[in-house]
């Protein structure tokens, strides 16, 4: 079984994501994971999300994304 480690703004969110991730598919092929009810964590400002995934063969894949979320400007 693969093992996942994830951080959001430097805090370990691995257990949280394991409990909420839902598998999905992409129209062009492939797979995606989504986690409903996380929008409350995405407040305006810079956010860094990192994931390390250790696969069954022992190899590790990882990626990091940095978001800049702007304040709502709609009336």
- E strands, 1-75, are 3-8, 11-12, 22-25, 31-34, 45-54, 60-69
What is the residue-averaged pLDDT of the chain?
82
pLDDT band at 63 (very low <50, low <70, confident <90, very high): very high
Q: How many CA atoms lie within 13 A of 61 on its CB side?
A: 4
16 is written with which tokens?
A: 């949280």
Q: Quick one: pLDDT at residue 1?
A: 52
Which pLDDT score, from 0 to 100, does residue 4 have?
87
> DSSP letter at 69?
E
């Amino acid at each position: 079984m693969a093992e996942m480690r994830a951080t959001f703004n430097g805090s370990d969110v691995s257990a949280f994501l394991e409990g909420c991730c839902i598998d999905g598919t992409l129209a062009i092929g492939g797979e995606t994971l989504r986690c409903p009810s996380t929008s409350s964590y995405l407040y305006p400002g810079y956010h860094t999300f990192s994931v390390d995934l250790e696969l069954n063969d022992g190899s590790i894949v990882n990626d990091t994304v940095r978001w800049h979320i702007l304040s709502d400007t709609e009336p």
